[in-house]
Chains A and B, each alone.
Chain A
Amino acid sequence: MEYAISVLLSGISVGGQYALIAIGYTMVYGILRLINFAHGDVFMVSGLIAIYLTTMGLPLPVTLALAVLITVLLGFLIERVAYKPLRSAPRMSVMISAIGVSYLLQNTATFVTGGQPMNYPTIPALSKMVTIGGASTTLVTVVTPVLVIALVFGLVQLINHTKIGMAMRAVAKDFETSQLMGIKINRVISTTFIIGSALAALGSILYFTNYPYITPTAGAMPGLKAFVAAVFGGIGSIPGAVIGAFLIGICENIIKALPFEGATTFVDAFTFALLIIVLVFKPTGLFGEKATEKV
C-alpha cells in the first residue's frame, strides 16, 4: 500500500511538471501550428540559469525570480529571432528552425557546462520531507499539482475573459482573418511565448528540485513527453494538456514499478506508442476541436 502510494505520488509530481511544459506547447501549437521543439531545452536552460545565478551569490528568492525573468526573455527572443522571420514560410521551415534552436541551446549548454552534470541549488522550502499515507516524499510533490491546478484556472480565465485572451482564441481559429480584424498578431504570439516560457521556468524549478542534476539533454525527454501530453489532451486545449500530462506521469511510474523483468525497458516507448495510437485513432485528442481542412 505504502509502495503504491509512493508510486502514485511520483507520478503526480512528474506529471505536474510535464503539465507545466505541456501548457507552453499546446498554446504555441494552438496559435502557430508549430511544434516548438526548443521548448524542452528552454526548460533545461532555465535550470542552468538558476545554477549560475546561485554561484554569483544572490539570495535564493532573487535567483529564482531572475531565472524566471531571464527564461521569459529567452523565450521571447527565440520567437523574435527564429520564428518571426519565417511567418510566411512553409510550416516545415519553422519546425526545422525550432529543431535548429534546440540544437543550438543543447550545444551551448554543453559548451558552457563542459558536459558535466550541474548541481541544482537546494530550495529548503520545497525539498522538505513530508509523509503521506506512510510514503515519504518532498514537499514539491504536494505543491506541484496544487500549483498546476491554480495556474490552469488562472489561464482559462485569462483566455476566456480578457481582451488578449480573446485575441489568442481568434488567432488560433483563423490567423489571417484575425489579422484583418486588426489584432496585432505579433503581440499575441509574443504573449503566448512569454506565458509558455514562464511556465517552463516554474516547471524547471519544481522538476530540478526533485532531480537536482542538470545535463544538456535534461530537457529533451520531458519536452517530448510534454508534447505527447499536449497531443493526448487535444492540442490547443489547456485542461486537456494538463490531464494528459498527469496521465503520462502516472502511467510512466506504474510501468517503472511493474514487477516483470524488462518492463522498464519500455517506459519511454510507452509514451510514444500512446502518441501514435492517439494520433491514428483520435487525432483531435481528448478535448481538441475538430479542425477543418482548408482548401
Chain B
Amino acid sequence: MLEKKRVNTGALLSLFGAVAALALVILLENTIGPTGQLFTVLKKGAVYALVAVSMNLLNGFTGLFSLGQAGFMLLGAYTYAILTVPVAAKDTVYYLYGGSAVKFSLPDLFAGIFGDGMLSLTLGVLVAIVLGGLVAAFFAWLIGLPVLRLKSDYLAIATLGFAEIIRAVFQWQALGPITNGANMITQIPTFSSFNIKTESGTIYLSSAFPMLIMILCLAVIVMLINSSYGRAFKAIREDEIAAEAMGINLPHHKMLSFCISSFFAGVGGALFAMYASNAQAMVYTSTMTYEILLIVVIGGIGSISGSVIATFLYVACSEWWLRGLDSGSFLGIQSDLFRNGFRMVVFSVVIMIVVLFFRRGIMGDREITDLFKKRPRKAAKEAVK
C-alpha cells in the first residue's frame, strides 16, 4: 500500500513538473522573443531527449544493444517529410523529378475537410509524425525477425549495418520521385509553423510544441516501463536464461521492446526533420547514433530522467555554452588552443572520463522522482530544465 502511494506521488510530481516546464517555456518564448539560443537548445534537446530515451528503453531497460537508431530516425523523418510537403510546393521541391509520386499532403487533405487553419495543420502534422513512428516500427519488426536472435555486440553491428543500408536506399536516385534522391525534402511544416499569428502579435509556440510531444511520449514510455511489460524487459536485461525460466517469452518481448523503441526513434526522426526544416539521408549517419549513445551513457544507462537531463546538458553545451571553445575565447580566457574543433575534443575527453570513472553516469539507474523525497529543492531545479 505504501509502495503504491509513493509511485503516485512521483507520477503526480512529474506531471506537475512537466506542466510547469511547458508553461515556463511558453512564457519565456513570448517574453524574451523566440530568437535566443536557449530555444534552439530546447527544441533540439526535446528531439534528442526523446531519441535518447527510446535508445535507453532498448539498451538500458531490455539490455539489447542496438546501434540502428539513426536508421529509424531517418525512416521517421522521411515518412513525415514525404507526407507533409504542401502539394503546391511539390514541383519546386522535387524539381529534378518533375514533381513527387506522392500526390497528396496530409495537412492539405485535412484542410480539405476542416478548412485552412491551425486545426488541419496540427492534425496533418500529428498524423504524419505518428505514421513516421509506425513506419520505423514496421521496419524494426522486419529487421528484428532475423537479427534479434543475435547476441550483444553482433546485434549492435548488425543494426548499425542495417542503418547504413537504409541510408543508401534513401539516396538511390531510382526512388527519387518519392525520396527526392540526394536532394533534401524542404518546405515541410516546422516547429515555427505552430506560432499563432493574431492581429495583436504572434504567440510563439515553436519550442512548446516539441516539448509537448516529448513529454507525451515520455509519459507513455514511463507507463510502459512501470507495467508488467517493463518488468519483463528488466528481467531480460538482468538474465535472459532466468527470465525465460520464469516464463517470459523472450522473442516476443525482445521484439516488442525493439519495435517500441524504434517507434519513438521514428517519432524523434520526424521531429528532427521539423527542427532542421528538411529531411536528408546524409544527416542520419552512425555518428548520430554514437552521439545519442554517449548521451545515454552520460545520463545513466537505465534512467529515463538521466537521459533527459543529459540530453539538455549535452545540447546546451555543444550548441551554446561551449561554442567559445571553438572560436578563440572561453570564459574570458584567450588561447590559441581554442580554434575550430577544440570543443569536440573537450567533449570526447569528458565522455571518456564519464565512461571510465563515472560508469553510472549522472543518474545511474535511479529516476529523478527518487530524489524528490531526499532533496526536493534540487529536483525541482532539474525538472525545470
CA distance A107 to B291 in the complex (A): 13
Residue pair B157, A97 in contact (C-beta under 8 Å): no
Name the residue among B162, B165, B340, B355 with the largest chain A CB count within 10 angstroms.
B355
Residue pair B352, A97 in contact (C-beta under 8 Å): yes
Residue pair A91, B161 in contact (C-beta under 8 Å): no
User: Of A101, A111, A269, A275, which contacts B168 at CB under 8 A?
Assistant: A269
B-side contacts of A49, CB under 8 Å = none
Give A280 Cβ to nearest chain B Cβ, in Å. 4
CA distance A231 to B149 in the complex (A): 16
B-side contacts of A268, CB under 8 Å = 164, 168
Residue pair B356, A86 in contact (C-beta under 8 Å): yes
Residue pair B340, A111 in contact (C-beta under 8 Å): yes
A-side contacts of B153, CB under 8 Å = 33-35, 91-92, 95
B348 lies within 8 A of chain A by Cβ: yes
A178 lies within 8 A of chain B by Cβ: no
Which residues in chain B, 140-165, are within 8 Å of chain A measured between CB atoms?
A: 146-147, 149-150, 152-154, 156-158, 160-162, 164-165
Residue pair A99, B293 in contact (C-beta under 8 Å): yes
Residue pair B161, A275 in contact (C-beta under 8 Å): yes
Residue pair A95, B164 in contact (C-beta under 8 Å): no
User: Of B164, B173, B294, which contacts A262 at CB under 8 A?
Assistant: B173
CA distance A107 to B290 in the complex (A): 13
B139 lies within 8 A of chain A by Cβ: no
Give B40 Cβ to nearest chain A Cβ, in Å. 22
Instruction: Decide yes or no: A107 and B341 within 8 Å by CB, A35-B157, A82-B356, A279-B154 being known contacts.
Output: yes
CA distance A280 to B347 in the complex (A): 36
Which residues in chain B, 276-306, are within 8 Å of chain A measured between CB atoms?
A: 286, 290, 293-294, 297, 301
User: Main SS of the interface on chain B?
Assistant: helix
Question: Chain B: how many interface residues by the 8 Å CB criterion?
Answer: 44
Which residues in chain B, 342-368, are within 8 Å of chain A measured between CB atoms?
A: 342, 344-345, 347-349, 351-352, 355-356, 359
Residue pair A108, B348 in contact (C-beta under 8 Å): yes
User: Of B165, B172, B241, B359, which contacts A89 at CB under 8 A?
Assistant: B359
Name the residue among A86, A89, A96, A261 with the largest chain B CB count within 10 angstroms.
A96
CA distance A272 to B164 in the complex (A): 7
Instruction: Decide yes or no: A269 and B173 within 8 Å by CB, A96-B293, A283-B150 being known contacts.
Output: no
Residue pair B342, A35 in contact (C-beta under 8 Å): no
Interface residues on A, range: 35 or more
Residue pair B348, A85 in contact (C-beta under 8 Å): no
Instruction: Decide yes or no: A107 and B344 within 8 Å by CB, A85-B356, A262-B173 being known contacts.
Output: yes
A-side contacts of B168, CB under 8 Å = 265-266, 268-269
Residue pair A93, B146 in contact (C-beta under 8 Å): no
Instruction: Decide yes or no: A103 and B294 within 8 Å by CB, A111-B345, A262-B172, A262-B173 being known contacts.
Output: yes
Closest residue to A291 on the B side, CB-wise? B151
B56 lies within 8 A of chain A by Cβ: no
Which residues in chain A, 77-105, are within 8 Å of chain B measured between CB atoms?
A: 81-82, 85-86, 89, 91-93, 95-97, 99-104
1/0 contact string of A101-117 vs chain B (CB within 8 Å): 11110011011101100
A180 lies within 8 A of chain B by Cβ: no
Residue pair B347, A107 in contact (C-beta under 8 Å): yes
A58 lies within 8 A of chain B by Cβ: no
CA distance A102 to B5 in the complex (A): 46
B384 lies within 8 A of chain A by Cβ: no
User: Of B147, B156, B174, B355, which contacts A276 at CB under 8 A?
Assistant: B147
Can you sample 22 A-B contacts with CB below 8 Å? A33-B153, A82-B356, A85-B356, A89-B359, A91-B152, A95-B65, A95-B156, A96-B294, A97-B355, A100-B348, A104-B349, A104-B351, A111-B339, A111-B340, A111-B341, A114-B339, A231-B154, A262-B173, A266-B172, A269-B169, A279-B157, A280-B158
- Given A100-B351, A107-B348, A280-B150, 7 more A-B residue pairs with CB atoms under 8 Å apart are A81-B356, A92-B152, A99-B293, A261-B173, A265-B168, A266-B172, A280-B147
On B, residues with C-beta under 8 Å from A are: 59, 65, 146-147, 149-150, 152-154, 156-158, 160-162, 164-165, 168-169, 171-174, 241, 286, 290, 293-294, 297, 301, 339-342, 344-345, 347-349, 351-352, 355-356, 359
